[in-house]
Amino acid sequence: MKKILISASELWQGEDPRFPIVCRGGFGGKLAINRDQIRILHYGLPYFTGTVAYNGQRYALVKDDLNPEGNGFDSGEYHFISQDKKELKIDEDVLCSLSRSISFDIQYNDVIIAYDCYERIVKSVDLISGKVVAKKIKLGWKEQAGDYYCVIDRENKISLYNKELALQWCCTLREIEYIKPYSRFFSRLYKDALLVNLGSFDKKEALQQGLLEKSGLSASQRTSELVNFNLKDGHKNWTYFTQSEIEAWQLVDDRIYLATSYELQVLDASSGKVLVHKNFPWTDQLTEEFSAGLYVTESLVIYGHAEQRKLLILNSSDLSLIRDVTLPENWYPSSQFRAFNDQENSLLYIELTTDQVVDLTGAQLAIDLSDIQAPLEIEKTPEFKLEWIKSNLDESRQSLVITCDDPDYADDFDTVLRISDRLIRDQAYYHSSYCPMKGLRGQNDYCTADFDGQIRFNFFGNAFNTALVQQRMEMMEQLFANWVEKMSISSNNFPVGLTTNRKR
């Protein structure tokens, strides 16, 4: 296992086989990961959004305007670009409007169905013919499942639409107040059925209606309802109520794996029968919900609990414990973490979070599925020297100088740039006296009283590709300025700024 310092919370399959994993960097560019090699494919321009699978090929969705005016989504041109630089032609307005709603985890075949947040209608885009079908659908929880579109509206009705957006069926749910499912996906196709996590509701109400057995209750105050609907007519094949709110779930072959903050369960997808049920030691304790994360392979279950600081590896057949992973200090699995399975290299990436006072709180843990007992390592990174010098703005203040002159990285500016970009933002976040995000996180007490907001970054490197290094350092300054503006950071009424210098 290895902890990798990448701030991106989402990884996707790359469109180029040479780079099986791609992600957004904290700097707004594009990173590629291939086992121990991490490359910067784009730094700053163009803005990378994700990759979409279509007809057996991967396309990267990019926007060619780094700093658009407005909210960042209503200007700039979007493009689907393949490995061989071919572009998937979709109407520009449609692609732009769907950019917020496209799921980069769905294996699209011929159709993308998504909500147009500008025109407030649902659009079905045929990727072969370019035909667009649009329809007003009641607001609610929406998701594409295969070539279908599932909607749970505010009137407690569930509807299924086909790819032409024609209504397949509509069912009225129980007369109870559902809280919509707090999960990335709430519906899955299974054979001739649609599996739906309808959401959660008060456990007392479930007990009063006789929907739950009183024995074996967890401390959770809510329950979830999972239903198997007939795909053709919406008839309920079976219904299952959990003892705690579903926070993550996954369909693997004929088994449904359910994760809550209190327990793990395995159901038979055809019948809804419980095959395996595992409680955790904290089941009878009231714990912070929405802490659980789940990923299942053919033989393993990876379960994370943010509040309990737990990462467990279990056998997928009987949920017996294989390994309780000891994570580095101050790091723990992200709530409802995202996972990415690099099948080519037999690596599984799990998102981690830190409780340290930093801006970029994320990292990735790479688990070698072929050797899950391997010791945990931390990515080797360049050494940086941090020193305070007298401010040239105010003699009573001081500026921060960050220097990298590590000879092992004199020829590896990609790594220096990736790590220093993170380090500089973290230092600015920590030392600045004013940052609204600090207030939201309850971290206002952390600052350096005499910091003037000025950070200088010096890099000692070799002369190769001088133009590219200089270009990226200038881009680093611009991206840092954009971040400062976005975060509204200042220090002692001084603006926060970055100056870079490349030395030989």
Q: What residue spans define the domains of the chain?
A: 385-503
Burial of 123 (0-12, 13-18, 19+ CB in 10 A): buried
Contact (CB, 8 A) for 165 and 149: yes
Q: Omega of the bond prior to 46 within 30 degrees of 0, cis?
A: yes
Whether residue 341 is predicted with pLDDT greater than 80 in this model: the reply is: yes
What 3-state DSSP class applies to 418? helix
Instruction: Provide the pLDDT for residue 492.
Output: 86
**Locate tokens 């009137």: which residue?**
155
> Out of 77-86, 433-442, 475-484, which region has the weakest mean confidence (pLDDT)?
77-86
What integer is the mean pLDDT of 39-52?
80
**Would you state the structure tokens that stand for residue 453, as one six-digit string?**
């907001």
CA R_g for the chain? 25
Structure tokens at 6: 């990448």
Integer Cα distance of 157 and 314 in angstroms = 37
Exposed (0-12), middle (13-18) or buried (19+): which is 394, by Cβ within 10 Å? middle
- Closest alpha carbon to 203 in 195, 188, 213: 213
Better pLDDT: 114 or 398: 398
Which amino acid is present at 406? D
Identify the band that residue 91 occupies on the pLDDT scale cut at 50, 70 and 90: low
Token reading at 184: 């990335």
Question: Cα separation of 455 and 292, whole Å?
Answer: 38
Please state, in angstroms and rounded to a whole number, the distance separating the CA atoms of residues 297 and 252. Answer: 8
pLDDT at site 183? 58
Q: What is the pLDDT of residue 99?
A: 58
Average pLDDT over residues 439-443: 89
Looking at residue 69, its pLDDT comes to: 45
Share of the chain above pLDDT 90, in %: 41
Confidence of residue 71 (pLDDT cuts 50, 70, 90): very low
Asked whether the predicted pLDDT for residue 476 surpasses 50, the reply is yes
Listed range (26-30, 118-122, 473-477) with the worst mean pLDDT = 26-30
Tell me which of 35-44, 106-115, 138-147 is least confident: 106-115
- What is the three-class DSSP state of 490? strand
Alpha-carbon gap, residue 341 to 349, rounded angstroms: 6
> Is the pLDDT higher at 374 or at 465?
374
CB 142 within 8 A of CB 122: yes
pLDDT at 438 over 50: yes
3-class secondary-structure state, position 445: coil
d(CA 379, CA 367): 13
Lowest mean pLDDT across 12-26, 107-121, 141-155, 252-266: 107-121
User: What pLDDT is attached to residue 255?
Assistant: 97
Task: Give the model's pLDDT for residue 129.
Answer: 79
**Higher per-residue pLDDT: 255 or 262:** 255
d(CA 13, CA 105): 9
pLDDT > 70 in the chain, percent: 87
72: pLDDT strictly greater than 50? no
C-alpha triplet 340, 35, 102: angle, nearest 5°:
30
Number of residues assigned to the chain: 504
Q: Which residue has the higher pLDDT, 156 or 233?
A: 233
Q: Which residues pair with 451 in a beta bridge?
A: 398
**pLDDT band at 14, cuts 50/70/90?**
confident
Least confident of 224-233, 406-415, 456-465: 456-465
Place of tokens 């099986």: 20
The pLDDT, as a whole number, for residue 287 is 65
pLDDT exceeds 80 at position 145: yes
pLDDT band at 68 (very low <50, low <70, confident <90, very high): very low
Candidate from 136-140, 333-337, 481-485, 486-490 with smallest mean pLDDT: 136-140
CA distances from 209 to 47, 90, 155 (A): 51, 50, 20
Alpha carbons 432 and 430: distance in angstroms, whole number:
6
| Residue of 365 and 180 predicted with greater confidence | 365
Question: Closest by alpha carbon to 206, among 217, 197, 195, 196?
Answer: 217
Helix (H, G, I), strand (E, B) or coil at 265: strand
In contact, 480 and 498? CB cutoff 8 Å = yes
pLDDT of residue 223: 86
What's the pLDDT at 295?
Answer: 94
- Sign of the C-alpha dihedral, residues 209, 210, 215, 218? negative
SS3 235: coil
Region of poorest pLDDT, from 173-187, 226-240, 385-399, 450-464: 173-187
Average predicted confidence (pLDDT) for the chain: 85
